[in-house]
């Protein structure tokens, strides 16, 4: 035997042994074997009597809330008697040991923080935070236009048929009840922007910020605006095959994968955490960070396969985006991301759990510049030649995204010198497409309709 997520060795019965048993009860159950070294060999001269075992069982029972009953058996390892204590997974979690809560992660015992305690409890009760009723919002705070757009998308996707008034439709889906509004409905349909930010940025290096934007929107709008921002930061290659004069635009990153990662950040984040979703665009990689580690028993290794069973942290949010056709069945997102990235031969997908959150990185070594999946050796910072009208279109998009953007930032984002940007800006002004409000340093751009 070796130590793992279900087995722990202890030289004697002590508080660490009881912490581990409590952790097993809060996870999938397990065994603590007393009288064994860390390498699995029995301790010499380890003595056992029935009175000691009964005393240990009583001590464990009195120090756990609710009181736990463990099973104890005398077993043999290398012909030496040792004691095996075992507990089953407790149905209503978490169980506390002396007022503290523990969970088994791989082969170690981990003390739970406040948000983890709440998450374990809600999971054991099959609750979802987004299904709770909000203390801050009522039906009057919801935007009927947003609800109507949602109903239209649901009926178009044909995964559910919604009829009646907007309020009746939300009641049918259990997003509201009378005047009460669930947290999910507040996030999806509130008139005012969400209190949960999406922080976007374009970086030259981790410490050199070229552009910065904060979104505070309802979730459907946040997905669309985040996608627009990321597209505005992407390099574009234009392919002309010679078969036809029509050009093919090849974005720096596959849009289906980027959209899936945006959805993952917003749907599966931990809304009990005050931390923002953070998406950072660098020269040849993008990072997506959302608060909240992988939910339930899902692991990093599970994500590398297509066979894992996903459990949604925010069930009602996931259901809303499923009904509109924005996501497929639960647990298929990373498969679709890998399939989209496969069209970009040098692109890598990496993910890890860090700082109470989940970080995904999409990176590449060579840009994809043609549609036959053979990247040519184009240095990352050397732009593909872009027709002037296309460059101007991108300038307009960047200005719409950030009216206060500087010429130097535009030059950096478009991989050209500032002189070229000045020439394009001058042409756009001449064509009455943009104008400048106030001074060069303190002013901002205005798109002229």
Domains in the chain with CATH codes? 7-124 (3.30.950.30), 129-189 (no CATH), 198-363 (3.30.565.60), 388-447 (1.10.10.10)
Structure-block tokens of residue 294: 């992988």
Dihedral of the alpha carbons of 157, 159, 165, 168, in degrees to the nearest 10: -150
Global pTM?
0.69
48 within 8 A of 54, measured Cβ to Cβ: no
Burial state string for 383-397 with b = 16 or more CB within 10 A and e = fewer than 16:
eeebeeeebbebbbe
Task: Round to whole Å and give the CA distance between 406 and 322.
Answer: 39
Closest C-alpha to 118, from 107, 106, 131, 129: 129
pLDDT value of position 421: 87
Closest C-alpha to 297, from 2, 21, 24, 28: 28
Burial state string for 81-108 with b = 16 or more CB within 10 A and e = fewer than 16:
ebbbbbbeebeebbbbbeeebbbbeeee
Cis peptide, bond prior to residue 66, ω within 30 of zero: yes
- 253 three-state secondary structure: coil
Closest C-alpha to 326, from 193, 219, 232, 401: 219
61 within 8 A of 37, measured Cβ to Cβ: no
- The contacts of residue 34 (CB under 8 Å, 6+ apart) are 10, 11, 12, 13, 17, 82, 83, 84, 85
Q: Which residues of the chain have pLDDT under 50?
A: 374, 380-387
- 17 three-state secondary structure: helix
How would you classify the pairing of strands 285-291 and 357-363?
A: antiparallel
pLDDT value of position 285: 96
**Residues facing 101 on adjacent strands:** 96
86 within 8 A of 71, measured Cβ to Cβ: yes
Task: Round to whole Å and give the CA distance between 23 and 25.
Answer: 5
290 within 8 A of 268, measured Cβ to Cβ: yes
Structure-block tokens of residue 92: 């209503």
- Tracing tokens 């992988």 back to the chain, one arrives at 294
pLDDT value of position 387: 47
pLDDT value of position 385: 46
Task: Round to whole Å and give the CA distance between 426 and 449.
Answer: 17
Task: Round to whole Å and give the CA distance between 68 and 64.
Answer: 6
Closest C-alpha to 142, from 170, 101, 102: 170
pLDDT value of position 35: 92
């Amino acid at each position: 035997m070796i130590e793992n997520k279900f087995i722990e060795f202890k030289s004697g019965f002590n508080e660490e042994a009881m912490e581990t048993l409590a952790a097993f009860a809060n996870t999938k159950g397990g065994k603590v074997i007393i009288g064994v070294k860390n390498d699995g060999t029995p301790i010499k001269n380890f003595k056992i009597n029935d009175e000691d075992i009964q005393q240990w069982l009583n001590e464990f029972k009195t120090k756990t809330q609710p009181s736990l009953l463990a099973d104890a058996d005398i077993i043999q390892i290398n012909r030496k008697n040792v004691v095996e204590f075992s507990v089953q997974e407790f149905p209503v979690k978490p169980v506390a040991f002396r007022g503290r809560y523990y969970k088994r992660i791989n082969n170690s015992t981990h003390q739970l923080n406040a948000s983890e305690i709440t998450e374990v409890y809600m999971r054991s009760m099959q609750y979802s935070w987004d299904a709770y009723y909000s203390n801050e919002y009522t039906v009057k705070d919801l935007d009927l236009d947003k609800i109507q757009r949602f109903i239209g998308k649901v009926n178009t996707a044909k995964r559910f048929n919604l009829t009646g008034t907007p309020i009746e439709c939300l009641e049918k889906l259990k997003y509201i009840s009378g005047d009460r509004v669930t947290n999910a409905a507040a996030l999806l349909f509130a008139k005012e922007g969400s209190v949960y930010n999406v922080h976007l940025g374009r970086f030259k290096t981790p410490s050199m910020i070229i552009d910065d934007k904060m979104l505070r929107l309802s979730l459907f709008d946040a997905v669309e605006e985040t996608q627009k921002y990321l597209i505005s930061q992407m390099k574009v290659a234009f392919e002309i095959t010679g078969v036809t004069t029509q050009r093919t635009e090849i974005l720096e990153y596959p849009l289906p994968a980027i959209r899936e990662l945006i959805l993952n950040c917003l749907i599966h984040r931990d809304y009990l955490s005050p931390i923002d979703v953070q998406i950072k665009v660098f020269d040849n990689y993008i990072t997506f960070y959302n608060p909240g580690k992988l939910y339930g028993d899902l692991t990093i290794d599970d994500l590398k396969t297509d066979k894992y069973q996903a459990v949604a942290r925010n069930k009602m949010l996931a259901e809303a985006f499923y009904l509109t056709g924005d996501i497929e069945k639960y647990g298929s997102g990373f498969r679709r991301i890998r399939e989209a990235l496969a069209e970009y031969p040098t692109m890598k997908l990496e993910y890890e759990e860090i700082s109470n959150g989940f970080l995904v990185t999409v990176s590449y070594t060579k840009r994809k510049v043609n549609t036959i999946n053979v990247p040519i050796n184009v240095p990352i910072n050397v732009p593909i030649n872009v027709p002037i009208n296309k460059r101007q279109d991108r300038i307009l998009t960047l200005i719409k995204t950030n009216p206060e953007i500087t010429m130097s930032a535009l030059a950096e984002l478009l991989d050209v010198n500032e002189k070229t940007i000045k020439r394009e800006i001058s042409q756009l002004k001449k064509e009455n497409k943009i104008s400048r409000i106030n001074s060069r340093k303190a002013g901002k751009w205005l798109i002229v309709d």
